[in-house]
């Protein structure tokens, strides 16, 4: 164990505006692939510090940094072996302090990724827990006896393939893991485990973080009776990731996650957050059947998390106007005083421009739509450059999920390749050494450097669209009313106070017309679409504003 140096909380303005996160644009950094500073081919915290200007220039209000904690890296940091330190690969705690200070100087809030549903099997807690059935931490993980025929206690499956149970010859018991067998599931039914995790939360809040992305928030508790999950009929298997090939998607996850006890734990978690005014959390809710219901449960009432991260737009099928209408209506009807966080891309799914086979113009239209939604928005690094999914050869694969299900499902490496900063360097300026995943050659031409000063570039488009969203807070926060529209067109009104904003998106390559409701509308000249009028060219958006 290292010596922990506690530092005074930094003074930032979040207490002055405790709801700063409502409607905010959050930029997700996958640290391994953002910027390397020491030539080892892996991105790191000093690299992030160096590139914070890029994020400030984009206009994002916050960053979410995927895990940089001490880890054997079997799931690339989502397997934490010390929650209170930085993995040497990424830097030091001092680097992290510098990162926060610099981000705050630039007005950027910092969210870190807490992975507390499971730890690494190398964590001291698990090492102790697995040593015997009687040690002080014997019950800190989910241990269960075999059935009389030696098979696992029930039918629960791991998302990464195979049973969710791994046999341990020392304890002569199985332990639960929802992901890799090296990611044993912490037993949050035990109050000591909760206390230890909440201490970790305090540790980072005292260091000055503004909040957390809570990994797999709905996996914190399991059914203590260990009941079998029921089978899901084939036509109901609608998971976002690997729906067809992964048998995890053949079950209804009633008992291995989504348990009611979580609500009480989230209240305890919130009480800790509230010790630090303005601190917030966004919970990642992965559940194909009950995602929306759980997001509402966790984010309503002001006593659990502030918002939940939605999977609704992370799936494979290109979302039609009808799909947006259905999802957004369902959310408006169900979310109450809760709050959603929307994303099209992240480090777990194919980049959306490729996933939905979008042209450049279509990508812009979808980006404008995302940045017009009520809720907070997560953009994934490289999205602002319009990066397509990288083609990663089998021999270069790193992701155990992809290696398991190859080639039917290629895993998550294609969205995790390094960010191209400059075009005239084979590693795109990402690293002086060999990158841990190859730089995609078709990404080089899309580098930050190549796009930064071109008014017509995707990067300029994102900058303008984010600036547009920020200068019209009605887009992030205003009430949402869906309007009737022809097929392939999505139309809605946003309203806050006396401001109404009309938004229409032509999600097709055929011209159509946006019919504005009665009112005194002015077309928004500050939105990044040329010649804005009711006449929608292919993949064009229209914004008009009315002060009433």
Binding test (CB under 6 A) with ligand BGC, winner from 75, 82, 185, 546: 75
Give residues 309-348 in contact with ligand BGC (rule: CB under 6 A). Answer: 347-348
Residue 380 C-beta: closest distance to Mg ion, Å: 20
Q: Which of 36, 215, 287, 389 is catalytic?
A: 215
Nearer Cβ to ligand BGC (119/447): 119
Identify which of residues 348 and 383 has a Cβ nearer to ligand BGC in the complex.
348
Cα–Cα distance, 122 to 125 (Å, whole number): 8
Q: Which of 12, 25, 26, 42 binds Mg ion (CB under 5 A)?
A: 42
Determine, following the binding rule CB under 6 A, whether residue 485 of this chain makes contact with ligand BGC: no
The dihedral sign for the CA sequence 364, 370, 372, 376: negative
We find the least distance from the C-beta atom of residue 96 to Mg ion, in angstroms, to be: 14
Contact (Cβ atoms closer than 8 angstroms) between residue 57 and residue 75: no
Number of H helices, E strands in the chain: 13, 20
When CB distances to Mg ion are compared, the closest residue is 44
Among 61, 95, 284, 413, binds ligand BGC (CB under 6 A): 284
Output the smallest distance, CB 416 to Mg ion, in A.
Answer: 15
261 is catalytic: no
- Residue 348 interacting entry, from Mg ion, ligand BGC, none, C-beta within 5 to 8 Å by type: ligand BGC
Q: How many CB atoms lie within 10 A of CB 517?
A: 13
Rounded CA gap, 205 and 269, in Å?
12
Q: Is 185 in the site for ligand BGC (CB under 6 A)?
A: no
Peptide bond just before 407 cis, omega within 30 deg = yes
Burial of 114 (0-12, 13-18, 19+ CB in 10 A): buried
Residue 38 beta carbon to ligand BGC: minimum distance, rounded to whole angstroms: 24
Does residue number 121 form part of the binding site for ligand BGC (CB under 6 A)? no
Helix (H) or strand (E) holding 494: strand 489-496
- Give residue 60's Cα distance to chain centre: 15
Classify each residue of 413-450 as buried b or exposed e, where b means 16 or more C-beta atoms within 10 Å of its C-beta.
Answer: bbbbbbbbbebebebbbbbeeebbbbbbeebbebbbbb
Contact pick of 18, 22, 38, 422 for Mg ion (by CB under 5 A): 38
The backbone region for 35, taken as left when phi is positive above 0, alpha when psi lies in -120 to 50, beta otherwise, is beta
Q: Is 215 in the site for ligand BGC (CB under 6 A)?
A: yes
Which residue, among 191, 198, 2, has the nearest Cα to 84 in the 3D structure? 2
Q: Is 126 in the site for ligand BGC (CB under 6 A)?
A: no
68, 78, 143, 430: residue in contact with ligand BGC (rule CB under 6 A): 78
State the number of binding residues for ligand BGC (CB under 6 A). Answer: 10
Q: Does 256 bind ligand BGC (CB under 6 A)?
A: no
Q: Is 6 a catalytic residue?
A: no
Binding mask of the shown chain, residues 18 to 37, with x at each position contacting Mg ion by CB under 5 A = ------------------x-
Catalytic residues: 215, 275
């Amino acid at each position: 164990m290292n010596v922990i140096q506690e530092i005074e909380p930094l003074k930032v303005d979040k207490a002055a505006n405790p709801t700063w996160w409502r409607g905010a644009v959050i930029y997700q950094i996958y640290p391994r692939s953002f910027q390397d500073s020491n030539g080892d081919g892996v991105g790191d915290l000093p690299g992030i510090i160096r590139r914070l200007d890029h994020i400030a220039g984009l206009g994002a209000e916050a960053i979410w940094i995927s895990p940089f904690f001490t880890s054997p890296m079997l799931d690339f940091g989502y397997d934490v072996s010390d929650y209170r330190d930085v993995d040497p690969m990424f830097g030091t705690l001092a680097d992290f302090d510098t990162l926060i200070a610099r981000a705050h100087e630039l007005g950027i809030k910092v969210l870190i990724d807490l992975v507390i549903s499971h730890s690494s099997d190398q964590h001291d807690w698990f090492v102790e827990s697995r040593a015997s059935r009687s040690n002080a931490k014997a019950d800190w993980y989910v241990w269960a006896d075999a059935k009389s025929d030696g098979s696992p206690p029930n039918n629960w499956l791991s998302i990464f393939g195979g049973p969710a149970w791994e046999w341990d010859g020392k304890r002569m018991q199985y332990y639960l893991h929802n992901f890799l067998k090296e990611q044993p599931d912490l037993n949050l039914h035990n109050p000591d485990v909760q206390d230890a995790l909440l201490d970790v939360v305090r540790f980072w809040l005292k260091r000055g973080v503004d909040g957390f992305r809570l990994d797999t928030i709905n996996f914190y508790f399991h059914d203590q009776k260990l009941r079998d999950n029921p089978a899901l009929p084939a036509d109901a298997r609608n998971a976002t990731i690997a729906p067809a090939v992964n048998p995890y998607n053949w079950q209804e996850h009633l008992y291995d996650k989504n348990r009611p006890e979580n609500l009480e734990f989230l209240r305890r978690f919130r009480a800790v957050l509230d010790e630090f005014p303005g601190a917030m959390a966004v919970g990642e809710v992965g559940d194909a059947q009950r995602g929306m219901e759980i997001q509402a449960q966790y984010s309503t009432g002001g006593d659990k998390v502030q918002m939940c991260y939605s999977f609704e737009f992370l799936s494979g099928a290109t979302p039609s106007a009808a799909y947006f209408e259905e999802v957004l209506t369902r959310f408006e009807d169900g979310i109450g005083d809760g709050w959603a966080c929307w994303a099209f891309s992240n480090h777990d799914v194919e980049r959306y421009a490729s996933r939905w086979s979008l042209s450049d113009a279509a990508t812009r239209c979808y980006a404008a739509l995302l940045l017009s939604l009520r809720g907070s928005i997560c953009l994934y690094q490289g999205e602002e450059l319009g990066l397509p999914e990288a083609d990663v050869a089998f021999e270069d694969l790193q992701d155990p999920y992809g290696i398991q299900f190859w080639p039917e499902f290629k895993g998550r490496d294609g969205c995790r390749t390094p960010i191209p900063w400059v075009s005239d360097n084979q590693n795109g300026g990402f690293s002086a050494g060999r990158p841990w995943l190859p730089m995609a050659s078709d990404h080089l031409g899309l580098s930050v450097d190549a796009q930064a000063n071109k008014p017509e570039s995707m990067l300029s488009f994102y900058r303008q669209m984010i600036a547009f969203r920020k200068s019209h807070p009605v887009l992030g926060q205003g009430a949402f009313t869906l309007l009737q529209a022809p097929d392939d067109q999505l139309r809605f009104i946003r309203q806050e106070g006396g401001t109404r904003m009309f938004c229409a998106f032509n999600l097709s390559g055929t011209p159509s017309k946006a019919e504005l409701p009665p009112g005194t509308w002015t077309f928004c000249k500050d939105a990044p679409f040329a010649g804005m009028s009711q006449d929608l060219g292919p993949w064009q958006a229209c914004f008009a504003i009315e002060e009433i």
